[in-house]
Amino acid sequence: MRPSALVPPLALSVAAAFLTGCGTAPSTPAASPSERFPVSVTTCDFTTEVTAEPRRIVTMNQGATEVALALGVADRMVGTAYLDDAVAPRFQADYARIPVLAAKYPTQEKMLSVRPDLVYGSYNSAFSEKNAGDRARLQGQGIATLLAPAGCAKKPERASWDLIWDELTAAGKAFGTEDAAAKLVAAQKDELGSAALKGAARGQRIFWWDYGAQSGLNVGAGKGTPQLLIESVGGVNVFAHLPGNWAEVSLENVVGTNPDVIVVADTAGHPAQDRIDQARKDPALSQLRAVRENRFVVIPFSETTSGVRLLDGARRVADGIRALP
């Protein structure tokens, strides 16, 4: 997917005036919000009908919330839910004005009480029966829905930036903010192609340490967003050979990789510092060069999931590696 070239609104208006003055038919003006609708938007093999500009949007996950805020529809949001950690500083003022329906997922009754005309989730679980409910049934009630392509019930083969850009494009179409979405996608592509980002890690070997292991350690494997972020900054994932997005490995397997850098995911219920302390106290992990030399990079979990902030995660990993001793 490639963004089309953007023409500044002032240039369009000047050109239209010039053509009119010459007796030539004027260019078609940009559509007003009402003229953009109705539209059909397909995400995760489900096509939703957005009959009019959404004025009562509910977002069910942090990723969805921050995409909506990035596309400038805060004044049309009537409810949010389910934060993984703190909202990005650039969104906090707008976010603070929007009602929080629940700490995790709201009940259907609570969600419907704010009379949404569009419900947007980052994960398929948002539309389970105990949460927002089935997308087709919501459509029958006149409520449009969006689901992030990375969060479909049928999981993508691997994480990709195209999935992020597909989400931004779909949300822009559903909200009537296509221009804002196209500019955001173009800006992300430019930054991802920059030497400053791509060359940050210079081939260093990176161990991505997440939370949630039943036994052993939960690591970034070869198909998920950890792999995507490591690739984007020019690093090498020491567990890239493992299938799936994440994998559980033994402590001995981690020690055997002897990574140059350890990236540690941080979330409210599972602080990164707990794993860093564990590494420093463990007889085997404490002998790794990355632990001895304090070569840790901490990243908020919200910057490792689908949405507008995944690029923030790439930037944080790049800056963190450059700052290491």
DSSP for 175-243, please give it. HT-HHHHHHHHHHHHHHHTSHHHHTSSTT-EEEEEES--SSSEEEE-SSSHHHHHHHHTT-EETTTTSS
Domain ranges for the chain: 30-191, 196-322
Rounded distance between C-alpha atoms, residue 156 and residue 149, angstroms:
8
Q: Which of 119, 133, 134 is nearest to 79 (CA)?
A: 119
pLDDT tens string for the chain (325 positions)?
Answer: 323 333 333 333 333 333 334 343 333 344 455 688 999 999 999 999 999 999 999 999 999 999 999 999 999 999 999 999 999 999 999 999 999 999 999 999 999 999 999 999 999 999 999 999 999 999 999 999 999 999 999 989 999 999 999 999 999 999 999 999 999 999 999 999 999 999 999 999 999 999 988 888 999 999 999 999 999 999 999 999 999 999 999 999 999 999 999 999 999 889 999 999 999 999 999 999 999 999 999 999 999 998 999 999 999 999 999 999 8
User: Are domains 30-191 and 196-322 of this chain identical in fold?
Assistant: yes
Question: Is domain 30-191 in CATH 3.40.50.460, yes or no?
Answer: no
Cα–Cα distance measured from residue 78 to residue 55, given in angstroms and rounded to the nearest whole number: 8
Q: What is the pTM of this model?
A: 0.87
The strand order across the sheet containing 144-147 reads 100-102, 77-81, 57-59, 118-121, 144-147
DSSP output for 302-324: GGSSSSTTHHHHHHHHHHHHHT-
- How many residues in the chain? 325
User: Which contacts qualify for 123-128: CB closer than 8 Å, 24 or more apart?
Assistant: 123/61, 123/147, 123/148, 123/151, 124/44, 124/151, 124/152, 124/153, 126/60, 126/61, 126/64, 126/82, 126/151
Buried/exposed code over 25-38 (b: 16+ C-beta within 10 A; e: otherwise): eeeeeeeeeeebee
The CATH number of 196-322 is 3.40.50.1980
Residue with tokens 């949007």: 57
